[in-house]
């Protein structure tokens, strides 16, 4: 099993932090996205969509989509002692998954769109729409505000336990900060959550 990834990006980091929480060490290989390696034959053979992260199984099959890889790793983790990350009951699983996707489609999606359209982005992206990119800055602010509201009422995004939704949010927040959009000072709950999540060993994965 090997993870093809690009260390600097938010999505591969989601998988690294999740694996670290599970205590799983992954063999990793870098695909240099800035140099366009994700669109070269070798990686497209692994993943016709050119995405990182991509997990290559021992039988040669490959799995992509960060949340899917995380769920796969949790499924493999026979000890099952970390299912808090995904939820222990039907309803818990749904609520955690819901928040993970809200963050993914909301904040992380807007950060990715800002990166691709509102900054230099990747040389391999042929189409760039600066106005659309700038609009995503507003969306980033609005999405951070939503997370702050949720965290005013709950310790973690999906409730009282740390979950995959917090991992996705952490990676999105850090990538936003890297692009010049840190958490606003008046988002006190989000700031407090960020400080707390950042004390976990896994975030250094």
CB of residue 131 to a second copy, shortest distance in Å: 6
Going by C-beta distance under 8 Å and a sequence separation of 6 or more, which residues neighbour residue 37?
31, 43
What is each CA distance from 165 to 70, 126, 127, 175, 194, in whole angstroms? 11, 31, 30, 15, 13
Site for a second copy in 103-122 (CB under 8 A): 106
Q: Which of 25, 127, 153, 199 binds a second copy (CB under 8 A)?
A: 127
Q: Which stretch binds a second copy (CB under 8 A): 15-23, 26-34, 92-100, 175-183?
A: 92-100
160, burial (CB in 10 Å: exposed 0-12, middle 13-18, buried 19+): exposed
Q: Which stretch binds a second copy (CB under 8 A): 24-32, 95-103, 166-174, 176-184?
A: 95-103
Would you tell me which residues interact with a second copy (CB under 8 A)? Answer: 48-49, 57, 61, 63-65, 67-69, 71-72, 75-76, 90-91, 93-95, 97-98, 101-102, 106, 127, 129, 131-132, 135, 138, 146, 149
């Amino acid at each position: 099993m090997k993870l093809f990834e690009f260390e600097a990006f938010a999505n591969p980091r989601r998988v690294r932090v999740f694996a670290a929480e599970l205590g799983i060490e992954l063999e990793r290989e870098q695909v240099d996205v800035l140099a366009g390696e994700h669109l070269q034959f070798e990686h497209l053979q692994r993943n016709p969509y050119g995405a990182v992260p991509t997990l290559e199984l021992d039988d040669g099959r490959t799995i992509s989509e960060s949340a899917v890889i995380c769920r796969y790793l949790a499924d493999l983790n026979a000890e099952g002692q970390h299912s808090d990350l995904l939820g222990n009951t039907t309803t818990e699983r749904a609520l955690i998954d819901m928040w993970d996707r809200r963050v993914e489609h909301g904040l992380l999606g807007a950060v990715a769109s800002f990166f691709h359209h509102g900054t230099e982005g990747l040389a391999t992206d042929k189409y760039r729409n600066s106005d659309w990119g700038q609009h995503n800055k507003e969306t980033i602010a609005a999405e951070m505000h939503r997370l702050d509201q949720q965290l005013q009422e709950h310790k973690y995004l999906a409730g009282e336990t740390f979950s995959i939704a917090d991992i996705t949010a952490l990676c999105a927040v850090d990538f936003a900060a890297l692009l010049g959009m840190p958490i606003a000072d008046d988002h006190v709950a989000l700031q407090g959550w960020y400080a707390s999540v950042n004390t976990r060993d896994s975030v250094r994965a």
